Amino acid sequence: MNIGQRIKRLRVKNNMTLDELASRTELSKGFLSQLERDLTSPSIVTLGDIASALGLSLAQFFQDDPSEKVVFNQNDFFTDEREGMTLHWIVPNAKKNAMEPLLIDILPHSVSFDVSPHNGEEFGYVVNGKLRLVLDGKETVLKKGQTFYLKGTHAHYLKNDTDKPAAVLWVSTPPIF
């Protein structure tokens, strides 16, 4: 185990600066920087203080992290059938992430859910079919292969007014679905 890299990875994971870690451990920023670059080694007491400041026991510090899953397949998806559409959460537990991707199948003559104004941003890619993006009452036609990108400051939804199903990959940040 590379102790310095582990300290840095845990510090960054906890959104903590070197200054914050130094303050919480009463160690100097320079010493911590040297630790993270493996230019020096900590005593067991110092390492215990660092682990504690990072929210871990010393035993937890030395436990291997299970690899964070980065590739998902259909067995990982969560599907929710609703009136006129089917939602596929294609990244499990996306609420904990900065963005939330959904694959949405919209049946003929149906609409997606209304998205209320929020402080985020959204991106969509029409996988198949033809849809209308309704934003503040104004409709824009979207065809297969086209994308949309918008600020979440206005209410909006998608509408399928054709006789064929449509699908869209819809990504929101922060998660709102």
What is the pTM assigned to this prediction? 0.63
**pLDDT tens figures, 6-58:** 999 899 988 899 999 999 999 999 999 999 998 999 999 999 999 999 989 99
For the chain, what are the domain ranges?
Answer: 3-62, 74-173
Is the pLDDT at 138 greater than 90? The verdict is yes
Of the candidates 9, 17, 148, the residue with the CA atom closest to the CA atom of residue 67: 9
pLDDT grade, residue 68 (50/70/90)?
low
**pLDDT tens figures, 120-130:** 999 999 999 99
Tell me the Cα Rg of the chain: 23
The CATH architecture assigned to 74-173 reads: Sandwich (2.60)
Phi, psi of 23 (to 5 degrees): -65, -40
User: Alpha-carbon distance 150 to 40, whole Å?
Assistant: 49
| 3-62: CATH class | mainly alpha
Residues 119 and 108 sit within 8 Å (Cβ to Cβ): no
